[in-house]
Structure 1
Amino acid sequence: MSLRPKELSRSPTLVDEKTDVVSDVLETLRFKTLLFGRVDLGAPWALRLPRKANASFYVVARGSLRLQVEGTAKPVFMSAGDVVLLPRAPAHVLDDGTRKAPAARDFISSEQLRASAGASVRLGGPGADTTLITGCFQLGAGATHPLLRAFPSVIHLSTQEPGRAPSLAATVQLISAETAAPGPGSALVLGRLADVLLVHALRAQAVLAKPGEAGWKALADPAIGNALSLMHERPGDPWTVERLAAAVGLSRSGFAARFHALVGETPLQYLSNWRMTRSARWLHESDDSLDAIAERAGYESAPAFSKAFKRRWGMGPGAYRRTPTLRETGRVVFDT
């Protein structure tokens, strides 16, 4: 059966207040903080972290450090208040940065790190102190969204940079305070603060993205940004390339080429993927019938929707609804 969308009952028009695409993406993907840890280190020290399945980030609460990410030529130097995100969690080395390269004896073992979790233990040598906070996060269904694929391997945010929002420094201070003295509800508090860090990273990347770079510049482009807002505002509408182009005042061919160049997907590929991402959330967070969800996602029938859903996620909607959702953990450990 073809996946023919429903007939349009009215001509599409731009929404009066554009949907915040970044907020919609993050809210739908359900960003989850899995682990948080805090460790006090004395120079000389070094940590070797392997490649991981989940993205990670570091906050320097005190002191300074050097980060060398596998596959990158230049190290990243961080000082108190800085944040770094590693969206694809490559292997990397952290050290105190006081010598050209850390010596083998400087490396702290994974066993020592795990043993220090939750305890006021200082690892390393007798030199300058560094307090490091680490977090690990995971995105739910749809983590291959074009905005997330456009992340570089390393995102460095410094609270000392001119123009950096004061809220970044405030967030770092709150994370430092909460990890220093965790209490009831700390896992929830830290998870929300991690959300804020990710939003800061998204904003920074949107500013730093190079002209023509797929993913980020699409949000700043008036026509393509409006088209994305329309699809996010009304994902169930029977959009076609022609209707989207007309809604944003472009020719069909001009709109299609511009959308693909800025987003990295065709308009209908983006729409289909976003409908499936939203549907995955609806299945986990509502008791709506498959017919109702199929209609919200722009499909004529539950069988048509089920076929598209299984093709996208590898299982039918019913099986997906029965799978457990990601859960935040209350553990406070150093992730190694």
Structure 2
Amino acid sequence: MSLRPKELSARPGTPDEKTDVVSDVLETLRFKTLLFGRFEMGAPWALRLPRKVNASFYVVTRGGLRLQVEGLEQPVFLSAGDVVLLPRATAHVLDDGSRKVPRDFIPPQQLRAAAGTDVRLGGPGATTTLITGCFQFGVDPTHPLLRSFPPIIQLSTQDASRASSLAATVQLLSAETAAPGPGSALVVGRLADVLLVQALRAQALLAQPGEAGWKALADPAIGNALALMHEQPGTPWTVERLAAAVGLSRSGFAARFHSLVGETPLHYLSNWRMTRSARWLHESDDSLEAIAERAGYESAPAFSKAFKRRWGMGPGAYRRTPAPRVTLPTSIDT
């Protein structure tokens, strides 16, 4: 593919101008918040949740609890103001922590019946107030940033770096679920979206050196390369051009990108183009030729071949499938 003059002059943006990769990923992948419940739990109590399709999250607004995630040796203890996200939807147990081994689990049907009511579950002891819900991604949940999630992400208001913003979100979420009014479903959904973004920010900061995925965003060169690919997916990027744009040698850039992202630059770019194209097909009436050009392909046939290889169907057939819809939270999924 020939390079056009305006493309040859592409330069990485300044820190204030470059594309926000996290926002772009979340917006393009069409994440949505599903299924809410607010529960008053009296000790002793215990909940056993099976593995799910969607990522679960919990917000503790009063009291405390113990969380044991399948596959992890040590439990996690949460107190008022804490938030926990289980990105991999792993099976887990929640309880008040009063017994060495949780027992007498509250039946799922009893939990479902109590969602959105003032019914207290469990025993007569200390009360824990728990808000719960799920996140779902409508397009391409195999993105490298999503694959790199750990089994559990915990946010605490005891962490000075995020205490004020997290506390404000938790407080608003608690108030809205305690006394719902007109539009509460929408407000609660947006607040939960904020919690997810706060969790992702924390993960980017906490990722260990050499850990593929979120650590890439904190790396100046690789972070800029990702921003360029997200900002200009149709530009005919090569490894050489990306390396030059961020001030690295070709070999150094390729090795560093693979180490931090978990795949090669061109593999990442190809998949991202297909993800963006899937959304363009559902949200615009643009011709296949126009979308192919936006995605960096010389012709509609070349684009169609790549699209079918990625999604298992051609772009025309994909356009005729129902688009992922954002739904408002309704009830707790057990």
Same fold at TM > 0.5: yes
Corresponding pairs, count: 330
Written as runs of structure 1 = structure 2, the 5 A alignment for 1:220-299 is: 220-299=218-297
Output the amino acid matched with 2:23.
S
State the partner residue of 2:3.
7
Provide structure 2 residue ranges, at least 5 long, that are not aligned to the other structure.
none
Encode CA deviations 1:232-272: one digit per residue, 9 max, x unaligned.
11010000111111111211111111111111110100100
CA displacement at 1:33 relative to structure 2: 0.8
Bigger mean CA deviation after superposition, 312-321 or 232-241:
312-321
Query: Aligned in 2, Cα 1:80/1:198: closer, same or farther, shift over 3 Å?
Result: same
Distance 1:32 1:331 in 2: 9
Distance 1:261 1:193 in 2: 34
Written as runs of structure 1 = structure 2, the 5 A alignment for 1:124-139 is: 124-139=122-137
Paired residue secondary structure (1:328)? coil
Contact 2:33 2:329 in 1 (8 A): no
State the partner residue of 1:167.
165
State the partner residue of 1:78.
78
Contact 1:6 1:298 in 2 (8 A): no
Contact 1:38 1:333 in 2 (8 A): no
Distance 1:165 1:130 in 2: 21
State the partner residue of 1:24.
24
Distance 2:108 2:300 in 1: 50
Structure with higher RCO (Cα < 8 A, 6+ apart): 1
1:322 to 320, 323, 326: 320
1:100 matches 2:96: no
Distance 1:246 1:328 in 2: 40
Paired residue secondary structure (2:263)? coil
Distance 1:291 1:162 in 2: 51
Distance 1:242 1:227 in 2: 12
Bigger mean CA deviation after superposition, 144-153 or 86-95:
144-153
Distance 1:326 1:181 in 2: 30
Paired residue secondary structure (2:190)? helix
Distance 1:109 1:92 in 2: 15
Contact 1:8 1:238 in 2 (8 A): no
State the partner residue of 2:60.
60
Distance 2:262 2:65 in 1: 36
Distance 2:93 2:189 in 1: 25
Identical aligned residues as a percent: 80
Bigger mean CA deviation after superposition, 170-179 or 233-242:
170-179
Contact 1:67 1:92 in 2 (8 A): yes
Distance 1:295 1:265 in 2: 24
CA displacement at 1:75 relative to structure 2: 0.4
Contact 1:8 1:237 in 2 (8 A): no
Provide structure 1 residue ranges, at least 5 long, that are not aligned to the other structure.
none
Contact 2:19 2:228 in 1 (8 A): yes
Contact 1:134 1:335 in 2 (8 A): no
Query: Aligned in 2, Cα 1:181/1:322: closer, same or farther, shift over 3 Å?
Result: farther
Query: Aligned in 2, Cα 1:163/1:330: closer, same or farther, shift over 3 Å?
Result: closer
Paired residue secondary structure (1:77)? strand
CA displacement at 1:218 relative to structure 2: 1.3
CA displacement at 1:165 relative to structure 2: 4.2
CA displacement at 1:309 relative to structure 2: 0.9
Contact 1:6 1:299 in 2 (8 A): no
State the superposition RMSD in angstroms.
1.4
CA displacement at 1:188 relative to structure 2: 2.0
CA displacement at 1:156 relative to structure 2: 0.7
Contact 1:60 1:83 in 2 (8 A): yes
Paired residue secondary structure (2:132)? strand
Distance 2:182 2:286 in 1: 34
CA displacement at 1:277 relative to structure 2: 0.9
Output the amino acid matched with 2:137.
L
CA displacement at 1:60 relative to structure 2: 0.7
CA displacement at 1:160 relative to structure 2: 1.8
